[in-house]
């Protein structure tokens, strides 16, 4: 058998590679034209694949590496040269992908065996046994279940430190003058430079900058990135996890999602490394628990919720939101400090941290009324760590509340949240304390207008009572002014004058 290794399965420890020594890899270029993907995403995937090919060869594997327009063309060439070959592949997490690959292979006279994907901490069978026939899920319950089952951050039957969650210690903003430890930078080698040139020429429509490419593209670099994070940034990751600071795109976040999603690191080793640092006394528990929850809780949870909610998840739009993305998401050219700063991070690095994604980029789109599918497409093309299985539930479910499958209320807020967690508002031309009027923060009127427009769906949902008490306290004149201001902001968003 030959192991077919996909571009997000770049792990030498993967089970199929322990049993076979022939490998097939196909670099499919037309795929990169389906959306104007961030050029750093394209460089990352192609460069990581080529480095993995070289590493496999160094270790004695016989690798057939095909550069083709599409997988179908790559398979044509493979089967012309080696008719009847039986392939084995780890089951890809994106919906229907395994079956589509099997069809392509079988129609060329081969066979494709799909085996468990080792690059997750939990299996579909484990989640299904836990969830039963439920059709909506809550991350916190799953997270505790996984910790109990795996023993991660557990002392016997109890969570380490006595609490499951230290979020109340993880909502700080850094003092004035603070700056984060520098993020690691991996200088592109010859292989990456060649890919950069290729991407520049081949994908002129790509959205984003290729000015600075610093992502890890090999297993060795990814491991260095993990160790660098644990030694330099993890201690402050917890307290500043939700903070946003002007001019700082990375803060103390790990920047590991792209490497984990490619397979260069496994979630298991990431979590074990972080736990070991805690047990060695090097880092505080609130940072460690906060990080472990992202990986063991959220990442695994999203994978399974996606798996069980597809294909309906892709088209979900329970709030019937129809607006197009405001022009500023494409140009970064907006007076809104929070939005221009955050879009700048995405354009420059293919990255924004979680709170920027959730409480700026998707929160604004949510209260503005953006169609969730359009927003998902934007996230999908703009981020180096974007893959259908992880971007879709995060944007459609968590960011857009287009379904209640993974949360009982929307992550919607006024400008108050941004003001509390960032230094953006202090120098913004818009006034965060005002809801209506020329200068008022666009988040504010849109937020109240959002609550009013979706009252029927939202009033009864869990934990929205307090918000609707505020809604009820506003009189007709206030609502008229809010609605006018919201309409004006939407028009400015369409015109690119926000
Ligand atoms: P850290 O803040 O250091 O967190 C550690 C790790 O936890 C991450 O590397 C990641 O592997 C994992 N993680 C944390 N939250 C999530 C989550 N909600 N879902 C999955 N993994 C999580 N993550 C992606 O990998 N790809 C995406 O396309 C993506 N799109 C998102 C879109 C929206 C609207 C939102 C709200 C979140 C999205 N996320 C996505 C989740 C999360 O924001 C990123 O994983 C994280 O910001 C990556 O940066 P980091 O590695 O520095 O993470
Ligand atoms: Fe963003 Fe409003 Fe603050 Fe300006 S005032 S940075 S628009 S939240």
pLDDT tens for each residue of 131-151: 999 988 999 999 999 999 999
Look up the domain containing 221 and give its range: 124-188+209-309
Evaluate: CB of 354 within 6 angstroms of ligand 1: yes
Decide if 228 is inside a domain.
Answer: yes
**Positive/negative CA dihedral, 157, 158, 159, 165:** positive
156 and 13, same structural domain?
Answer: no
52's torsion region: left (phi>0), alpha (psi -120 to 50) or beta?
A: alpha
CA distance 39 to 44: 8
Q: Token pair 């929160």 is at which residue? A: 363
Q: Which residues line ligand 2 (CB under 6 A)?
A: 336-338, 415, 418-419, 424-425, 428, 430, 432, 441-443
User: Angle at which helices 124-131 and 139-150 pack, to 10 degrees?
Assistant: 120
| Global pTM value | 0.97
- The residue from 115, 143, 178 where one domain ends is 115
pLDDT tens, 351-384? 999 999 999 999 999 999 999 999 999 999 999 9
- How many residues are present in the chain? 498
Query: Is residue 11's pLDDT more than 90?
Result: yes
448 and 339, same structural domain?
Answer: yes
Evaluate: CB of 255 within 6 angstroms of ligand 1: yes
Q: Token pair 């395994």 is at which residue? A: 98
pLDDT tens, 194-217? 999 999 999 999 999 999 999 999
- Is the Cβ–Cβ distance between 361 and 18 less than 8 Å? no
pLDDT at 110: 97
pLDDT tens, 273-323? 999 999 999 899 999 999 999 999 999 999 999 999 999 999 999 999 999
378 and 237, same structural domain?
Answer: no
Point out the ligand 2 atom lying closest to the alpha carbon of residue 339: 1
Q: Which ligand is nearest to the CA of 305?
A: 1
Quickly list H helices, 67-174. 71-81, 97-106, 124-131, 139-150
Q: Which ligand is nearest to the CA of 328?
A: 2
Record the tokens describing residue 427, joined without a space. Answer: 């120098």
412 and 381, same structural domain?
Answer: yes
**CATH number of the domain that residue 445 is part of:** 1.10.579.10
Point out the ligand 1 atom lying closest to the alpha carbon of residue 229: 3
Query: Is residue 460's pLDDT more than 90?
Result: no
392 and 349, same structural domain?
Answer: yes
Q: Are strands 22-28 and 62-68 parallel, antiparallel or unpaired?
A: parallel
Confidence tier at 74 by pLDDT (50, 70, 90): very high
pLDDT at 285: 97
Decide if 282 is inside a domain.
Answer: yes
**CATH number of the domain that residue 277 is part of:** 1.25.40.80
Decide if 199 is inside a domain.
Answer: no
Decide if 491 is inside a domain.
Answer: yes
Point out the ligand 1 atom lying closest to the alpha carbon of residue 303: 20
CA distance 137 to 139: 7
List Cα–Cα distances, 307 to 31, 122, 267, in angstroms: 22, 13, 18
Which has the closest alpha carbon to 168: 111, 239, 234?
239
488 and 357, same structural domain?
Answer: yes
Domain count of the fold of the chain: 3
**CATH number of the domain that residue 98 is part of:** 3.40.50.620
**Positive/negative CA dihedral, 246, 247, 253, 255:** positive
Point out the ligand 1 atom lying closest to the alpha carbon of residue 358: 36
59 and 156, same structural domain?
Answer: no
Q: How remote is the CA of residue 60 from the centroid of ligand 1, in Å?
A: 35
434 and 376, same structural domain?
Answer: yes
488 and 414, same structural domain?
Answer: yes
Q: Which ligand is nearest to the CA of 434?
A: 2
pLDDT at 310: 97
Evaluate: CB of 248 within 6 angstroms of ligand 1: no
128 and 253, same structural domain?
Answer: yes
Query: Is residue 462's pLDDT more than 80?
Result: no
335 and 288, same structural domain?
Answer: no
265 and 335, same structural domain?
Answer: no
Tell me which of 167, 385, 406 to substitute to probe ligand 1's pocket, judged by most ligand atoms within 8 Å of the beta carbon: 385
């Amino acid at each position: 058998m030959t192991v077919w290794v996909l571009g997000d399965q770049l792990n030498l420890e993967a089970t199929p590679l322990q049993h076979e020594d022939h490998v097939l890899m196909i670099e499919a270029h037309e795929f990169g034209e389906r959306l104007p993907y961030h050029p750093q995403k394209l460089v990352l995937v192609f460069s990581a694949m080529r480095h993995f090919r070289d590493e496999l060869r160094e270790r004695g594997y016989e690798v057939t590496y095909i550069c083709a327009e599409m997988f179908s063309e790559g398979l044509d060439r493979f089967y012309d040269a080696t008719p009847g070959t039986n392939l084995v592949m780890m089951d890809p997490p994106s919906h229907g992908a395994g079956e589509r690959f099997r069809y392509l292979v079988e129609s060329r006279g081969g066979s494709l065996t799909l085996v468990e994907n080792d690059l997750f901490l939990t299996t579909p069978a484990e989640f299904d046994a836990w969830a039963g026939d439920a059709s909506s899920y809550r991350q916190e319950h799953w997270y505790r279940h996984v910790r109990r089952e795996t023993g991660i951050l557990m002392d016997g039957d109890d969570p380490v430190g006595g609490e499951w969650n230290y979020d109340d210690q993880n909502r700080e903003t850094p003092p004035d003058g603070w700056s984060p430890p520098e993020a690691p930078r991996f200088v592109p080698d010859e292989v990456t430079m060649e890919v950069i040139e290729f991407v520049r020429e081949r994908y002129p429509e790509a959205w984003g900058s290729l000015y600075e490419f610093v992502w890890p593209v090999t297993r060795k670099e990814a491991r260095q990135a993990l160790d660098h994070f644990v030694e330099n940034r993890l201690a402050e990751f917890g307290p500043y996890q939700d903070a946003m600071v002007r001019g700082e795109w990375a803060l103390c976040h790990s920047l590991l999602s792209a490497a984990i999603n490619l397979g260069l690191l496994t979630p298991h080793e990431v979590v074990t490394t972080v736990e070991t640092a805690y047990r060695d006394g090097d880092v505080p528990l609130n940072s460690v628990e906060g990080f472990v929850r992202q990986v063991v809780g959220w990442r695994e949870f999203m994978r399974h919720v996606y798996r069980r909610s597809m294909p309906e998840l892709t088209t979900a739009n329970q709030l019937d939101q129809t607006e197009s993305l405001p022009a500023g998401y494409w140009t970064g050219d907006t007076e809104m400090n929070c939005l221009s700063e955050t879009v700048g991070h995405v354009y420059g690095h293919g990255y924004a941290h979680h709170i920027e994604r959730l409480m700026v980029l998707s929160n604004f789109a949510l209260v503005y009324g953006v169609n969730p599918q359009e927003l998902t497409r934007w996230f999908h093309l703009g981020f180096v760590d974007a893959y259908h299985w992880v971007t879709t539930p995060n944007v459609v479910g968590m960011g857009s509340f287009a379904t209640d499958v993974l949360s009982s209320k929307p992550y919607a807020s006024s400008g108050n949240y941004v003001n509390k967690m960032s230094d953006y508002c202090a120098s913004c031309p818009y006034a965060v304390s005002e809801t209506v009027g020329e200068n008022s923060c666009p988040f504010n009127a849109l937020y109240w207008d959002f609550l009013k427009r979706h009252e029927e769906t939202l009033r009864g949902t869990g934990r929205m009572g307090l918000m609707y008490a505020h809604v009820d306290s506003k009189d007709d004149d206030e609502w008229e002014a809010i609605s006018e201001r919201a309409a004006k902001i939407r028009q400015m968003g369409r015109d690119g004058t926000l």
